[in-house]
């Protein structure tokens, strides 16, 4: 990937709403050239989408937890991500190396909601869980 494309991706990672004009000024290209490059980055799958940074506390979901999950039966088909995809409180699912098979990032309103979520995860995927609750997030 060219340095200009890397610079565009870096700028968009920091501010996904940055205008093509402002991007062009930052990297020394015309607005139309930037538009074309960003479109190509999307077509190549480098840029997969844009998202909003949300104040989860304002949405009533202040509690963040990481849930490490391990299947009870390691020989069973590995369809855990598909089984958990529809659970709205799960924000991300990472396949990991180590003791657990997957690490889930979840957001809920209160400890009781986390307890209920863990029960739903265990029932839906046939897994054991190990949970870490986030106390604060200095940066993300």
* pLDDT one-digit tens code per residue, 81-130: 999 999 999 999 999 999 999 999 999 999 999 999 999 999 999 999 99
- The answer to whether residues 96 and 103 touch, using CB atoms and an 8 Å cutoff, is yes
- How would CATH label the architecture of 3-44? Orthogonal Bundle (1.10)
Rounded distance, CA 68 to CA 73, Å?
Answer: 16
Tokens of 63: 């509690």
**Contacts with 83 (C-beta within 8 Å, 6 or more apart), sequence order:** 124, 125
pTM: 0.80
Rounded distance, CA 107 to CA 90, Å?
Answer: 7
Question: What is the full DSSP assignment across 88-108?
Answer: TTEEEEEE-SSS-SEEEEEEE
Domain with CATH 3.30.70.920 in the chain: 56-134
Domain with CATH 1.10.10.10 in the chain: 3-44
Fold assignment, 56-134:
Alpha-Beta Plaits (3.30.70)
Helices (H) and strands (E) in the chain, counts: 5, 4
What is the per-residue pLDDT across 13-32, written as a single tens digit (0 to 9) for each?
A: 989 999 999 999 999 999 99
């Amino acid at each position: 990937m060219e340095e200009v494309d890397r610079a565009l991706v870096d700028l968009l990672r920091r501010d996904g709403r940055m205008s093509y004009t402002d991007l062009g000024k930052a990297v020394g290209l015309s607005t139309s050239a930037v538009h074309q490059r960003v479109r190509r980055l999307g077509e190549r799958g480098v840029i997969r989408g844009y998202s909003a940074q949300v104040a989860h506390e304002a949405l009533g979901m202040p509690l963040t937890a990481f849930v490490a999950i391990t299947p009870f039966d390691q020989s069973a088909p590995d369809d855990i991500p598909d089984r958990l995809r529809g659970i709205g409180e799960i924000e991300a699912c990472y396949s990991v190396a180590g003791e657990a098979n997957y690490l889930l990032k979840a957001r809920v309103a209160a400890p009781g909601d986390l307890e209920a979520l863990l029960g739903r995860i265990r029932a839906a995927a046939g897994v054991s869980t190990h949970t870490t609750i986030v106390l604060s997030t200095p940066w993300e």
